[in-house]
């Protein structure tokens, strides 16, 4: 169903791929947009309980696309260091494929928005986060992505370094 990675020596383990999702700041959500054009958009997200959660407005391109076709992809860049003298970049990234669901209420919705708020406002108190969430009630949705395939990849130079360090 999903392609195998062509450059398998650069493939990251499931744990390393999950770590990129856990620590990433911004992800890029890909959906099947209008007139079958791909639509990708940078988003804030949180990875928790094996799922990706994205906060969004109650209407818009993402929501319309997901209602038409729940299949999505999601990419996070873990590292991206340009190395001009080598004409390359040292990168790591993770890509998830899955099905998106739109959440507007309920326990999963509450837990997801709380986790997202804690990720981006870690120094705020639980009370302050709860107040902020309640004040915005009804003005946003959460998108849950149930991951069907997760893979990660790193630059060949990083993969070689990792292999050399094992010897």
Q: What is the pLDDT of residues 116-127, one digit of tens each?
A: 999 999 999 999
What global pTM score does this model have? 0.89
Specify the number of domains making up the chain: 1
A 10 A CB-CB count for 74 gives 26
On whether residue 69 sits in a domain, the answer given is yes
On whether residue 3 sits in a domain, the answer given is no
On whether residue 79 sits in a domain, the answer given is yes
CATH number for the domain harbouring residue 67: 2.30.110.10
On whether residue 1 sits in a domain, the answer given is no
Q: What is the pLDDT of residues 24-70, one digit of tens each?
A: 999 999 999 999 899 999 999 999 999 999 999 999 999 999 999 99
* CA max distance for the chain: 56
Residue 56, both tokens = 């969004």
Domain that holds residue 42: 8-161
On whether residue 2 sits in a domain, the answer given is no
On whether residue 53 sits in a domain, the answer given is yes
On whether residue 166 sits in a domain, the answer given is no
Q: What is the pLDDT of residues 84-105, one digit of tens each?
A: 998 888 888 999 999 999 999 9
On whether residue 167 sits in a domain, the answer given is no
């Amino acid at each position: 169903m999903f392609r195998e990675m062509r450059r398998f020596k650069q493939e990251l383990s499931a744990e390393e791929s999950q770590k990129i999702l856990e620590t990433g700041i911004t992800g890029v959500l890909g959906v099947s947009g209008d007139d079958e054009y791909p639509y990708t958009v940078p988003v804030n997200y949180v990875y928790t309980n094996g799922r990706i959660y994205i906060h969004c407005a109650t209407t818009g391109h993402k929501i319309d696309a997901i209602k038409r076709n729940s299949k999505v992809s999601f990419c996070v860049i873990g590292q991206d260091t340009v190395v001009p003298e080598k004409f390359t970049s040292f990168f790591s990234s993770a890509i998830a494929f899955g099905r998106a669901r739109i959440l507007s209420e309920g326990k999963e919705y509450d837990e997801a928005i709380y986790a997202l708020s804690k990720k981006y406002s870690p120094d705020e108190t639980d009370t302050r986060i709860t107040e902020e969430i309640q004040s915005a009630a009804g003005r946003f949705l959460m998108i849950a992505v149930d991951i069907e395939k997760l893979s990660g990849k790193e630059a060949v130079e990083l993969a070689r370094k990792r292999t050399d360090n094992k010897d």
